[in-house]
């Protein structure tokens, strides 16, 4: 499903690197015109944020979750386990992508072992990767 150009796409970016988040947000906004991006610096903060959204208005859950693996407090794997345990998105509104600088095949295979995870994307992000991730047609 590619994002509709008129609809605002909501994205939750879960990464402990503030500089990387700043760059990722700029790139996403360049690739996608109508975006609402929220960043969480660790999995625990993201789980708390999503729990709050689920409790108040589940329709406001993000369309996409871009999840780093290596973070303090709660890493990406712990996030996925807790996300599933709490059943935060029973209607599967959010599409989860692992966004990681890890090149280890065991991380890639582990990511693909989670039914919740749509794909594993290697950092650094760039506009082309983002357009591919969101299924946006390339402009010629």
Per-position pLDDT tens, the chain of length 140: 444 456 889 999 999 999 999 999 999 999 888 899 999 999 999 999 999 999 999 999 999 999 999 999 999 999 999 999 999 999 899 999 999 888 788 988 999 899 999 989 988 888 888 888 887 644 43
Whether the full predicted model's pTM is greater than 0.85, yes or no, is yes
Cβ-proximal residues to 26 (8 Å cutoff; 6+ apart), any chain: none
Is 2 within the bounds of a domain?
Answer: no
Count of structural domains within the chain: 1
The CA-CA-CA angle for residues 44, 125, 20, to 5°, reads 50
Is 115 within the bounds of a domain?
Answer: yes
Domain range spanning residue 41? 9-133
């Amino acid at each position: 499903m590619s994002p509709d150009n008129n609809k605002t796409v909501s994205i939750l970016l879960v990464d402990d690197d503030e500089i990387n988040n700043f760059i990722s947000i700029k790139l996403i906004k360049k690739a996608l015109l109508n975006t609402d991006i929220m960043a969480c610096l660790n999995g625990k903060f993201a789980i708390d944020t999503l729990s709050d959204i689920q409790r108040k208005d589940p329709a406001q859950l993000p369309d996409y979750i871009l999840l780093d693996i290596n973070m303090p407090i709660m890493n990406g794997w712990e996030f996925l386990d807790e996300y599933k345990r709490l059943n935060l998105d029973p209607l599967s509104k959010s599409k989860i992508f692992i966004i990681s600088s890890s090149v280890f095949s065991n991380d890639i295979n582990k990511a693909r072992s989670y039914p919740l995870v749509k794909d594993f994307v290697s950092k650094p992000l760039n506009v082309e990767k983002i357009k591919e991730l969101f299924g946006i047609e390339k402009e010629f």
